[in-house]
Amino acid sequence: MRKKHWSFLIIALIVVAGLIFFGSGQNPVIDAEKYHPTCYSTIWALLPPIIAIGLALVTKEVYSSLFTGIIIGALLYANGNLELMFNTFLFQNEGGMISKLSDSWNVGIIVFLVILGIMVALMNKVGGSAAFGLWAAKNIKSRVGAQLATILLGVLIFVDDYFNCLTVGSVMRPLTDRHNISRAKLAYLIDATAAPVCIIAPVSSWAAAVTSSVPADSGINGFTMFLNTIPYNFYALTTIFMMILVAVLKCDYGPMKLHETNAIKGDLFTTNDRPYGDDLDSSSSGLGEVIDLIAPVIILIFCCVMGMVYTGGFFSGETFVNAFANADASKGLVFGSTITLLIAFVFYMTRGVMTFQEFTSCIPEGFKAMVAPILILTMAWTLSGMTGLLGAKFYVHDVVAASAGALKMFLPAIIFGVGLFLGFSTGTSWGTFAILIPIVCNVFATPDTYQMLVISIAACLAGAVCGDHCSPISDTTIMASAGAHCNHVNHVETQLPYAFTAAAVSGVGFLIAGIMGYIWESSAALISLPITLCLMFITIFIIKTKS
């Protein structure tokens, strides 16, 4: 198998090298402001992420796959000029790795990751996680109950997807371990209650991203538009409904079925890889109680929410909703988590469950636990930057804009598919919003097409979240793996069949909604949403019967 993997890699590199050098002729003279590669804004701009994703799924190795995609993107951008390729890979503004690591938003997310890692190490050290696991084992009696509790907590923590992934993972891991739920299943439950919940929550960083993507000159209130899209966001709603059905009906299929079967036998990981360490036997002081986990988590939620609205101007006179819409999520999460860490230090020292030396020893332990997601995030950001340098968003813009006018009735389904592909290829939902929402606003610019505008923007949001949910290079997917302490490739390959099932049902829903919105505007949601949810139930019931 290893030889096949390397053969696949070598063939991919040879093909790309041939595409680069065919017609490139000579090394370009670079003008930083005017330079565009030969493949700029063509279908080849999507080649680097496609190759990276394909390699990750085939080789089961994410680091070399992402690195290969980055190098291919840099080669395409440089038109085969090796000197320019290395400069692009490292130093190119808005695309190179150093540029990504110097971006204040990205650095904030890394700092937040590290602090969360330290918090988890502290809760494990004092015995809070173990105490919660024992309590949960007494009060939540079944695997179904443990999964439903995980879903409920994920739905309740709706302010931000990063925060959701790491917090739900930290709190629920002891419970799911006690009930022999695989780490892959936990990662899926975390991931499926992150972006899909945030995209239908009015008070969240995602609502702010959607609101800001609506063109200022369109005359459309972005926040009102976001609220109107919620009943049409079929992917988010069907994903949440599907999770509940899968848990209650005990319906696991695809690679997830193997992981769950092994977990029931006692193997929570299935594969030998332990990228976050084997935390099943974490040493603790033995003095901890449930409050030592619950109190820091509640404080963390409160402080992060306050940190986000602080960056949005809440304490300067803005309303709570407007403060969320204007919030800097990265900065707010760093503020909130830093304050929580200081409070946790005082709390644990006051309770006498931890010494100062134990506290300081958790700092490097927490950092080490987050090395893997930080490395994957850095490479995913760089790969996304390479895709941006190649003009992928302009290619997608041209393709959608060229066909939208003649296919208005089917545009929601088309937009959903395009958003899914773009989100999957680039690993970013917010970037997909920024590309597709202005196009949709231009297509449905008249008052009499407002209902179709709402449905189409909902399709854009749903497709972007679906692609983000499926993509191995998505930061949310990476965070879900980190929160569950699950091998990243295991998480991706076990989640894909579930995500594709919800995507297929949602696609049918948008086809129905597009037709109903075009013919019978006022009742489009009343008809299309129940049909979509019923179709999801029938689909899961058939899968359960067959498997």
- Are 329 and 308 in contact, with CB atoms under 8 Å apart? yes
pLDDT digits (tens, 9 = 90+) for 416-428: 998 898 888 877 7
Better-predicted residue by pLDDT, 447 or 257 = 257
Better-predicted residue by pLDDT, 190 or 70 = 190
Say if residue 25 is exposed, middle or buried (CB neighbours under 10 Å; 0-12, 13-18, 19+).
exposed
- Going by C-alpha positions, the residue among 70, 46, 280, 113 that lies closest to residue 183 is 280
User: Given this model, what pLDDT does residue 26 score?
Assistant: 45
Q: What is the token pair recorded at 317?
A: 């006179």
- Are 258 and 497 in contact, with CB atoms under 8 Å apart? no
User: Given this model, what pLDDT does residue 22 score?
Assistant: 45
How far apart CA 158 and CA 160 sit, in angstroms, is: 6
How far apart CA 373 and CA 330 sit, in angstroms, is: 16
Could you give the dihedral angle defined by the CA atoms of residues 486, 491, 493 and 498, in that order, rounded to the nearest 10 degrees? 150
pLDDT over 70 for what percent of the chain?
84
- Are 172 and 165 in contact, with CB atoms under 8 Å apart? no
- Are 423 and 471 in contact, with CB atoms under 8 Å apart? yes
**What is the average per-residue pLDDT within 252-256?**
94
Q: What is the token pair recorded at 362?
A: 């958790």
User: Given this model, what pLDDT does residue 458 score?
Assistant: 93
Dihedral sign from CA coordinates of 458, 459, 463, 469? positive
Mean pLDDT of the chain: 81
User: Given this model, what pLDDT does residue 189 score?
Assistant: 96
- Whether the per-residue pLDDT at 391 is higher than 60: the answer is yes
User: Given this model, what pLDDT does residue 397 score?
Assistant: 67
How far apart CA 261 and CA 425 sit, in angstroms, is: 31
User: Given this model, what pLDDT does residue 400 score?
Assistant: 66
DSSP 8-state code for residue 492: H
How far apart CA 487 and CA 508 sit, in angstroms, is: 32
DSSP line for 462-509: HHHHHHHHH-TT-HHHHHHHHHHT--HHHHHHHHHHHHHHHHHHHHHH
**What is the average per-residue pLDDT within 479-485?**
88
How far apart CA 393 and CA 375 sit, in angstroms, is: 25
How many CA atoms, within 13 angstroms, populate the side-chain half-sphere of residue 439?
Answer: 28
Residues comprising the chain, all counted: 547
Q: What is the token pair recorded at 133?
A: 């696991």
Angle at 224 between CA 328 and CA 512, to 5 degrees: 115
Q: What is the token pair recorded at 380?
A: 């995913």
User: Given this model, what pLDDT does residue 447 score?
Assistant: 67
**What is the average per-residue pLDDT within 382-393?**
80
Rg (CA), the chain: 23
How far apart CA 491 and CA 273 sit, in angstroms, is: 12
DSSP line for 319-353: -HHHHHHT--HHHHHHHHHHHHHHHHHHHHHHHTS
φ/ψ of residue 191, rounded to 5: -65, -40
- Whether the per-residue pLDDT at 462 is higher than 90: the answer is yes
Q: Tell me which residue has tokens 């790491």.
A: 166
Q: Which of 51-55, 263-267, 303-307 comes out lowest in average pLDDT?
A: 51-55
φ/ψ of residue 283, rounded to 5: -75, 145
φ/ψ of residue 40, rounded to 5: -60, 130
User: Given this model, what pLDDT does residue 446 score?
Assistant: 67
- Going by C-alpha positions, the residue among 472, 520, 470, 461 that lies closest to residue 496 is 470
Confidence of residue 520 (pLDDT cuts 50, 70, 90): low
**From the centroid of its chain, how far is CA 437?**
19
**What is the average per-residue pLDDT within 516-522?**
67
How far apart CA 393 and CA 421 sit, in angstroms, is: 12
Q: Can you point out the beta strands (E) in 116-184?
A: none
| Count of H-run helices and E-run strands, the chain | 27, 0
197: number of Cβ within 10 Å: 24
**From the centroid of its chain, how far is CA 291?**
30
Q: Where are the chain's structural domains?
A: 2-92, 104-205+280-373
Question: What single letter denotes the amino acid at residue 39?
Answer: C
- Whether the per-residue pLDDT at 499 is higher than 50: the answer is yes
Q: Which of 72-86, 98-112, 389-403, 460-474 comes out lowest in average pLDDT?
A: 389-403
Helices 329-351 & 104-126 angle (0-180, nearest 10): 20
How far apart CA 317 and CA 309 sit, in angstroms, is: 11
How far apart CA 490 and CA 272 sit, in angstroms, is: 11
User: Given this model, what pLDDT does residue 275 score?
Assistant: 66
For the entire predicted model, the pTM comes to: 0.74
- Are 473 and 52 in contact, with CB atoms under 8 Å apart? yes
How far apart CA 494 and CA 196 sit, in angstroms, is: 18
463: number of Cβ within 10 Å: 31
How far apart CA 95 and CA 451 sit, in angstroms, is: 38
